[in-house]
Amino acid sequence: MITINHLYKSFDGVEVLTDVNAVFEEGKTNLIIGQSGSGKTVLMKCIVGLLRPDSGELFYGDTNFLTLRKSQQKKLRQKMGMIFQSAALFDSMTVLDNVMFPLNMFSHDTYRDRLRRANACIDRVNLSDATGKYPSELSGGMQKRVAIARSIVLNPRFLFCDEPNSGLDPKTSLVIDDLIHSITQEYNMTTIVNTHDMNSVMAIGEKVIFIHEGVKAWEGTKDTIFTAGNQTLNDFIFASDLFRKVKEVEIMQQEG
């Protein structure tokens, strides 16, 4: 479980996050949604420690991440996996080397065990045929799947996904969403997904937090999001024609 209390972050005097409070639950896919520029990427960067908040608390379980020494933060980071918007695979390494990298760095297993573990993770994301390929030879969806395999290879307790469906077609996006969701349950991880893709919200949003202009404006689930009374959330969700029509149909059905 990850808990955020009264988190503030500003850049050059401009407040980007204001008094954000949230609880991200274990074994669930927690989504942070919001418009581009709303502060959700900054929030995620604060959570993973790439940015230091101006004030507030950030708990991983019972441990306040912000009060840990650098060496302790480094140890905790080995329990985190992250999937970046750009996949962030190492260009000079093959798929297998990319997935094996965290094992080579931190695992004390034998080479044979590390290889077996890496191959198992690659199998899990259905990329067994691509182990010898370089990232530049893979499609966007395949790169994201390699990133998922790399992020779970050390059995992490926390998984972070920054816009995992960015640049992918709707069908591939569903595959990635399903994979993230099933892996979260399989490993009982605390997963946080940053997205503005409403299809992802409807597919895997077990817990949804809506950020608007750096403030947490709404919190709920995929089942309650359509009936939320929050105007800014409604403006965000129903900006798409498709979702407006879905809501109209739903209201018509409710009215009989």
Would you tell me which residues interact with another protein (CB under 8 A)?
48-50, 74-78, 80, 82, 84-86, 88-92, 101-102, 104-106, 160
> By C-beta, is 142 or 203 nearer to another protein?
142
Picking from 197, 180, 173, the residue whose alpha carbon sits closest to that of residue 35 is 197
Give the nearest distance from C-beta 211 to another protein in angstroms: 20
Q: Which is nearer to another protein, 60 or 160 (CB)?
A: 160
Q: What values do phi and psi take at 217, rounded to 5?
A: -100, -20
- Minimum Å gap between C-beta 75 and another protein is 7
What is the distance between the alpha carbons of residues 154 and 110, in angstroms, rounded to a whole number?
14
- Residue 76 Cβ vs another protein, minimum distance, rounded to whole Å: 8
Distance of closest approach, residue 121 Cβ to another protein, in angstroms: 14
Question: Least CB distance from residue 73 to another protein, whole Å?
Answer: 8
DSSP string, 62-85: TEEGGGS-HHHHHHHHTTEEEE-T
State in angstroms the smallest separation of the CB of 48 from another protein: 6
Nearer Cβ to another protein (122/201)? 122
Closer CB to another protein, 104 or 185, in the complex:
104
Which residue from 127, 135, 139 is spatially nearest to 179, judged by alpha carbons?
127
Write out the H or E segment, with its range, that includes residue 146: helix 140-152
Least gap, CB of 105 to another protein (angstroms): 5
- Based on CB atoms, which residue is closest to another protein, 48 or 228? 48
DSSP string, 164-216: TTTT--HHHHHHHHHHHHHHHHHHT-EEEEEE--HHHHHHH-SEEEEEETTEE
- Are the CB atoms for 95 and 132 separated by under 8 Å? yes
Q: What is the DSSP letter of 30?
A: E
Q: Which is nearer to another protein, 160 or 243 (CB)?
A: 160
Closer CB to another protein, residue 67 or residue 104?
104
Element (H, E) at 2: strand 2-11
